[in-house]
Structures are given as structure tokens and as C-alpha cells.
């Protein structure tokens, strides 16, 4: 493979709504460029970027994957991304290592929810957007109708660069509005027609004039030429259009059919000529830190001094590369995908990981064609590559020259929307589970695995139920670890509503020294979140001071199991104020038992109650679904706190909802908003459970306890 400089590289994220033909289009591009002998089938699992077994089985893209091709002296790196709402965060993460977003739109379905979502992602990263209307050969396709939808959704800057002749099965070619020539034929056999089809001549002329006028806007010299000549010559129009696309003044639209490859070779030409190269990107902002070899600071908090710097994409700059994806391969081990932002990477280069301040070695550099690695000796600034078996490097890390460490900011990821309790089926599965989940979470940063400190359950969290099911499938297939999923237990707590006093006495005589402990305590409620407080008001030696901690320990032990449903008791204060002891028979164990008895005695009069976790939720939804979302929350015992406008046409609803009402909310929100809604959720506070809910929970807990006793008997 040839070595390419940044000026001859094009990096694009291929994004769009699910089932718009992104993977099929990439296959057609690779075949047209000669990178693969023939197009693979997504359904058959032979497509270059659809190699994961779960993707093949489910017929959809789950994670971003990389492919490349060479076309007329230019290297094209393509990131294939998911379009399903549950995995759309992968499309956002794919925006960081590229210079443009190729947004694919279905010629029948038009602008869909995830089309708008990925557009907003590209806008957030300030990326040029190239709109590709795909599947023009599909029955019911209407390219001009979709063009109108795109203009309505994204503004008058949306401008066609090509026009289709024929829709559906009649789609046979395109008209290039820059060169004003018509091209027909599929695969790589492009034929130039002498004239634009008569039926399209007037439409093409009007579209060409509108494109020229849009390119000339804001450029005085072009406007003068446009008004003087009525057009702009192609020699001037091409660089002007390139600049307009790079500056987001024009969002070009092209029409193709990936399945038949019609218009695909022209699309390759368009990428080569008009898509921005890495060296045309604005210098990337990064945090500069102290060299790895420097002595750590000893004063203050021991933090390294940091300043923001601008890093141009230049071979002559010190090496810095950003790891944007990690893949766990059963044979090659961990593979790290990276973008070189500055400098050149060569085999056997020693680099520093700026996060861990450790050394790594770049051995066996390669460029990835799906899962197949093509070895390379070096890669230049702006290129995308991969390296296996880095010891201490993960997604989001920056590697490079130890003398000038800089840190690129990783893409912000959403919080997991749902969690399931996970139980290994056998002891052997239990032994392998933690290591397997650790590898999966390195590959997919949205997979969180942790143990609930109260329920003691192992929980795995992700973007939705299907996401978690894929994790379970990978555990079994890759790591031979089988698990069972179930709904997680809600970490309820118990508290008291009233002040009460209680007496606990433990007396046991069995020859020789006996056991004797006697104490009186008072408990009183505290505000939410206060936890547990203990105090002693013992005077005149009613209880020796050294036994008081034992009473506290007994109260704490009793509070751990509560009295209603076996949940921890919180937000109360216990005071020991009186008691008695025996010179011979009293000991710490006796007073510990007495403390437990006194606590239980208090509970008969302290009006114990259940508390449930309340989540603070922020839901982002299109305005037309806001009413349905707000109307759904009271049914979950939620309370709407307010709402505000976000991006154009978007509303953010703030609410407090019990955790019990949010266990399946991710899937419900997707259904309510047609996949356009998203949420952020975090634990906020505990509050009292509704009386009718408390009755059910207490009854269920007691029935469970009874069943356990009978089983033991």
C-alpha cells in the first residue's frame, strides 16, 4: 500500500438512520475503488464492515468499524456507524477522528429521527456535512421529494451537486451540476452522455444556477463574476465549492444506489475533490502537560501544570495520536484504533501514554479493512491506523512524544439508560465473569459493570435491553461465560417517622460467668441523607464507658436489616441514656445484644417507614412529543420540575421519578418519541414510599422470609 500525506487523505464518518444502506454503500465504494474484488452481502455476513457475529445475526451495525480504499492518488478512510437509537452514541464518537460526516438518507423514507440526531452531532463537532441520498433504485424512491425534506429540515444551504434521472427501478444515472454532464451505468463502467436528458435539462439548468449563486454568496469577487457572466466557470467553481463545503456554507447532496453502484464512482470523485483533508482542519485544541520524564510536583495537590495548545496536522510536529476505538480480538488480542493528529508514526516507535504516564511500543502498525489488518511501515499526520497489544492503553487515551505530552479530549458519552442484575450460571462462569466484562467494557465504553453495595447484586448497565442482550451473547461466544439476566433489586431503605424510647436487657446464666447487659435508648428521626448518628448521655457510671461502643455496634447491626422489609435503616439518631451492668457477668457481647434488643423495642413505637431512591431525570425530546412524555411521568409517580428549549425544535423536561418507575424507561421513551428521545438520569435523593406501595413491598418481603424459613425446615 502507498504512503499518503495528510493532504491526500480523506476521513469520513458514514452516518445516518438505521437501514438506510450505509454498509451496502461502503461495500460499493470499496468495490468501485478496487479495494475488494466484489461487493459483500450484509445479510450473508460477507460485508467488510459487518463482521461481528452479533451484527450478522441481528442484521444491523452495532459498533463503528473502519475500511479504506485508494482512488486516483487519494486515500479514503471510512467509518461505518450504527443508526439504531440504542447504539447511536457510536456515531457521535466516530465524529472525533474525521474531517467530514457523510450523512446517508434513504430515498424512500427520507429524513428520519436519527438523521436529525447525527446532523446535530456533526454540528456539535463543527464538521462539514455531505448528504447522500441512497437506495435510489428502491421501489417508491423519490429523490426530489427527499431533497425538499432535507432543505426543510436543514435550511437553504442544502444544495444538490447531482440530480438523478429516473427513480426506483428506473434510476439509471446522475447529472453532475458542476460540470453539467450526465453519467449513467453502474459498477465502475461510467458512460458520459453527450447531452443531459431532455426531461431534466431545464431542472438541471435551474439547479446549476442556484448552486452557483449559493457558492458566490459572501465572496465579493465571485459575486462580481457571477453578475458579469451569469455563471462561474468550472475552473473557478470547483475550488470555490470546495471552500464553501469546508466552511459549512453549503451542504451538498448527491444521489446514488449502493446496491447497483449507480453514481458510486462519481461519489468517489466528489470525496477526492471536495471533501476536506486533515491538513485543512483547524488546529485541534489539546491540553499540554509536563513531559513524562519530568519529576512530579511535590507542592499543593501534586497536579501537573496544564495549558491549552493548538496542534496543527503536520508531519513536522512531534508525534501525537488519539485512540478512538478498542477492539478485543480472540486471536490478535486488543487492537487500538487511532488517529494521528501530528507527526509520523513508525513501526517500533517508543511512545508515552499521557494518561498513565507509561511507555508503549508501536509494533505491527496496520490499516484496517474491517477485521483484516494490512501491515504498513509508517503513517503520516491525518491518517487513521491500528496497533495491537498495547499494554496499558484504552479508548480515549493520547499517545506520543514523551517530551511534549498533550491530551485530546475524548468524545463525551451518554450515561447508561438501563441496568440488569447478572448472575453467573456456574462457579466456573463466576470465575471468568469479571475479566470478560472488563474486556467488553474496554471495547464498549457504554457497558458499565459494578456491584450494588446494598443489594450485593452484580449489575451490568447499558443503553437498552438489546444492548445488554448483546453483552450476554458476547460473554458466551467470546469468553465462554454464561449468565442469567434479571431485573435489579431496588435499593430501598427504611427510616422512622417518630421519636421513641426502648429498653433492651440480655441476661443469661449458665454456670460460672454469665452474660448481662442492660441499656435504655432513645431514637429520633433525622433529615433525609443524614445517615446514622449515635450519642451517649450516660452519667454516674450507670454503664461503664468501655461498653458504650458495643451498644452502638448492636444498634448498627440491627439497623442493617431494618424491621419492615429487611432494608437498611437510615436517617435516625440513637442515644443511650441509661442502663445497668454486673461487675462479673457484663461484657461487650452482652451489651451488643442489649443494644439490638433496645433498637427493636423502639421500632414498635417509632413508626418505621420505607424510603425509595428518587432519580433526577432530564429528558430531551422533539417538541411534538413533549406532551406525551410529560403525560407519562405521573403514571410512574414522577414529578415534573420544569421544561426548557434546547436545540431548535427540541424540549428538555426535568423531573424527579422513583427508580422503580424508570427500570424500563429507555425502551418506553424510544417508543413514545419514535427513537428521537434521549435521557440523562442520576440518583438524587431518597423519599417516602407511597402507603399502598409500602404495603405491597412489606407483604412481599414477609412472604419471602416465610418461604426461606420453610425451605430451611
For residues 691, 696, 701, 706, the Cα torsion angle rounded to the nearest 10 degrees is: 130
Strands 678-688 and 333-342: unpaired
Secondary structure tally for the chain: helices H, strands E: 16, 37
The CATH number for 571's domain is 3.30.230.10
- Reported as a single tens digit per residue, the pLDDT across 471-529 is 999 899 888 999 998 888 888 999 999 999 999 999 988 766 789 999 999 999 999 98
181 and 254 in one domain? Answer: yes
**619 domain residue, yes or no:** yes
Q: What residues contact residue 633 under an 8 Å CB cut-off, 6+ apart?
A: 639, 640, 653, 655, 657
Residue 459 phi, psi (nearest 5): -115, 140
Q: What does the radius of gyration of the chain's CA atoms come to, in whole angstroms?
A: 33
**707 domain residue, yes or no:** no
**708 domain residue, yes or no:** no
The CATH number for 288's domain is 2.40.30.10
143 and 63 in one domain? Answer: yes
What is the per-residue pLDDT for 620?
84
Whole domain around residue 481: which residue ranges? Answer: 418-486
345 and 360 in one domain? Answer: yes
Distance, first Cα to last Cα, the chain: 74
Residue with cell 519529576: 295
Residue 222 has a CB neighbour count (10 Å cut-off) of 20
Q: Which helix (H) or strand (E) holds 9?
A: strand 9-16
How many folded domains does the chain comprise? Answer: 5
Last residue of a domain, one of 556, 587, 606: 606
CA distance 235 to 712: 88
CA distance 523 to 555: 10
206 and 117 in one domain? Answer: yes
**380 domain residue, yes or no:** yes
What is the per-residue pLDDT for 42?
67
Strand positions, DSSP E, 363-513:
366-369, 372-375, 378-379, 384-388, 398-400, 406-407, 418-424, 448-451, 458-462, 483-486, 493-496, 500-508
**713 domain residue, yes or no:** no
The CATH number for 441's domain is 3.30.70.870
Query: How far is C-alpha 41 from the geometric centre of its chain's CA atoms?
Result: 28
670 and 599 in one domain? Answer: no
**585 domain residue, yes or no:** yes
Q: What residues contact residue 438 under an 8 Å CB cut-off, 6+ apart?
A: 449
Query: How far is C-alpha 294 from the geometric centre of its chain's CA atoms?
Result: 35
446 and 513 in one domain? Answer: no
The CATH number for 674's domain is 3.30.70.240
110 and 18 in one domain? Answer: yes
**345 domain residue, yes or no:** yes
SS3 for 258?
Answer: coil
213 and 99 in one domain? Answer: yes
The grid coordinates of residue 34 equal 478496487
To 5 degrees, how large is the angle CA 244–CA 188–CA 194? 70
What is the per-residue pLDDT for 88?
87
65 and 214 in one domain? Answer: yes
Positions of the chain with pLDDT lower than 50, given as ranges: 187-189, 191, 294-306
99 and 216 in one domain? Answer: yes
Q: What residues contact residue 561 under an 8 Å CB cut-off, 6+ apart?
A: 568
What is the per-residue pLDDT for 133?
97
What is the per-residue pLDDT for 303?
46
What is the per-residue pLDDT for 308?
57
CA distance 266 to 186: 11
0.85 exceeded by pTM? no
534 and 386 in one domain? Answer: no
Last residue of a domain, one of 457, 486, 515: 486
The sign of the torsion formed by the CA atoms of 179, 182, 184, 189 equals negative
Q: What residues contact residue 86 under an 8 Å CB cut-off, 6+ apart?
A: 463, 464, 466, 467, 670
**710 domain residue, yes or no:** no
What is the per-residue pLDDT for 59?
80
The CATH number for 202's domain is 3.40.50.300
Last residue of a domain, one of 386, 407, 428: 407
401 and 433 in one domain? Answer: no
- Reported as a single tens digit per residue, the pLDDT across 21-45 is 999 999 999 999 999 988 777 665 7
The grid coordinates of residue 64 equal 463503528
What is the per-residue pLDDT for 289?
57
CB 527 within 8 A of CB 458: no
Amino acid at each position: 500500500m502507498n504512503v499518503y500525506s495528510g493532504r491526500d487523505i480523506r476521513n469520513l464518518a458514514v452516518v445516518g438512520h438505521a437501514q438506510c444502506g450505509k454498509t451496502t454503500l461502503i461495500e460499493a465504494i470499496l468495490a468501485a475503488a478496487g479495494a475488494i474484488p466484489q461487493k459483500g452481502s450484509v445479510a450473508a455476513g460477507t460485508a467488510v464492515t459487518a463482521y461481528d457475529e452479533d451484527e450478522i445475526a441481528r442484521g444491523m451495525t452495532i459498533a463503528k468499524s473502519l475500511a479504506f480504499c485508494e482512488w486516483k492518488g487519494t486515500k479514503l478512510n471510512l467509518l461505518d456507524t450504527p443508526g439504531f437509537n440504542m447504539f447511536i452514541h457510536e456515531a457521535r464518537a466516530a465524529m472525533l477522528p474525521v474531517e467530514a460526516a457523510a450523512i446517508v438518507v434513504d430515498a424512500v423514507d427520507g429524513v428520519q429521527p436519527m438523521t436529525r440526531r447525527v446532523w446535530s452531532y456533526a454540528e456539535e463537532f463543527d464538521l462539514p456535512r455531505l448528504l447522500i441520498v441512497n437506495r435510489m433504485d428502491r421501489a417508491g424512491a423519490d429523490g426530489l421529494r427527499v431533497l425538499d425534506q432535507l432543505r426543510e429540515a436543514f435550511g437553504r444551504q442544502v444544495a444538490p451537486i447531482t440530480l438523478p434521472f429516473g427513480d426506483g427501478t428506473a434510476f439509471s444515472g446522475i447529472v453532475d451540476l458542476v460540470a453539467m454532464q450526465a453519467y449513467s451505468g453502474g459498477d465502475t463502467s461510467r458512460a458520459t452522455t453527450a447531452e443531459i436528458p431532455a426531461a431534466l435539462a431545464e431542472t438541471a439548468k435551474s439547479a446549476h444556477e442556484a448552486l452557483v449563486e449559493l457558492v458566490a454568496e459572501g465572496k465579493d469577487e465571485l459575486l462580481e463574476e457571477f453578475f458579469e457572466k451569469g455563471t462561474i466557470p468550472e475552473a473557478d467553481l470547483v475550488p470555490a465549492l470546495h471552500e464553501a463545503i469546508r466552511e459549512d456554507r453549503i451542504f451538498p447532496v448527491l444521489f446514488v444506489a449502493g446496491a447497483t453502484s449507480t453514481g458510486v464512482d462519481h461519489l468517489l470523485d466528489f470525496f477526492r475533490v471536495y471533501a476536506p483533508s486533515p491538513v485543512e482542519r483547524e488546529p485541534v485544541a489539546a491540553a499540554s502537560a509536563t513531559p513524562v520524564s519530568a519529576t512530579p510536583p511535590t507542592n499543593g495537590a501534586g497536579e501537573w501544570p496544564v495549558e491549552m495548545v493548538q496542534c496543527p496536522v503536520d508531519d513536522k510536529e512531534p508525534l501525537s495520536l488519539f485512540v478512538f476505538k478498542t477492539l478485543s480480538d480472540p486471536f490478535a488480542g486488543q487492537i487500538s484504533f487511532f488517529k494521528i493528529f501530528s507527526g509520523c508514526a513508525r513501526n517500533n516507535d517508543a511512545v508515552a501514554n499521557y494518561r498513565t504516564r507509561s511507555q508503549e511500543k508501536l509494533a505491527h502498525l496496520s490499516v484496517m479493512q474491517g477485521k483484516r489488518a494490512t501491515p504498513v511501515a509508517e503513517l503520516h499526520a491525518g491518517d487513521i491506523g491500528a496497533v495491537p497489544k498495547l499494554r496499558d492503553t484504552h479508548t480515549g487515551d493520547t499517545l506520543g512524544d514523551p517530551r511534549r505530552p498533550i491530551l485530546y479530549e475524548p468524545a463525551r458519552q451518554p450515561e447508561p439508560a438501563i441496568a440488569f442484575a447478572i448472575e453467573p450460571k456456574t462457579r466456573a462462569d463466576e470465575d471468568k465473569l469479571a475479566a470478560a466484562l472488563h474486556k467488553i467494557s474496554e471495547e464498549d465504553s457504554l457497558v458499565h459493570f459494578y456491584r450494588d453495595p446494598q443489594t450485593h447484586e452484580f449489575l451490568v448497565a447499558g443503553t437498552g435491553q438489546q444492548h445488554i442482550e448483546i453483552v450476554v451473547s458476547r460473554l458466551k461466544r467470546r469468553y465462554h461465560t454464561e449468565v442469567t439476566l434479571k431485573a435489579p433489586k431496588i435499593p430501598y431503605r427504611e427510616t422512622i417517622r417518630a421519636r421513641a424510647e426502648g429498653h433492651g436487657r440480655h441476661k443469661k446464666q449458665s454456670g460460672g460467668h454469665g452474660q448481662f447487659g442492660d441499656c435504655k435508648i432513645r431514637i429520633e428521626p433525622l433529615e433525609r441523607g443524614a445517615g446514622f448518628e449515635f450519642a451517649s448521655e450516660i452519667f454516674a457510671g450507670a454503664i461503664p464507658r468501655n461498653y458504650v461502643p458495643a451498644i452502638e455496634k448492636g444498634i448498627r447491626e440491627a439497623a442493617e436489616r431494618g424491621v419492615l422489609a429487611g432494608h437498611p435503616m437510615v436517617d435516625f439518631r440513637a442515644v443511650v441514656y441509661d442502663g445497668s451492668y454486673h461487675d462479673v457477668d457484663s461484657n461487650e457481647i452482652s451489651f451488643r445484644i442489649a443494644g439490638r434488643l433496645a433498637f427493636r423495642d423502639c421500632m414498635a413505637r417509632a413508626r418505621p417507614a420505607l424510603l425509595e431512591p428518587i432519580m433526577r431525570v432530564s429528558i430531551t425530546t422533539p417538541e411534538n412529543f413533549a406532551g406525551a412524555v410529560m403525560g407519562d411521568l405521573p403514571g410512574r409517580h414522577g414529578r415534573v420540575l420544569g421544561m426548557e428549549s434546547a436545540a431548535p425544535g427540541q424540549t428538555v423536561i426535568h423531573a424527579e421519578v422513583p427508580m422503580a418507575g424508570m427500570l424500563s424507561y429507555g425502551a418506553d421513551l424510544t417508543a413514545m418519541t419514535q427513537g428521537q428521545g434521549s435521557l440523562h438520569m442520576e440518583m438524587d435523593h431518597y423519599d417516602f414510599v407511597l402507603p399502598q406501595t409500602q404495603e405491597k413491598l412489606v407483604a412481599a418481603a414477609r412472604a419471602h422470609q416465610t418461604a426461606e424459613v420453610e425451605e430451611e425446615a
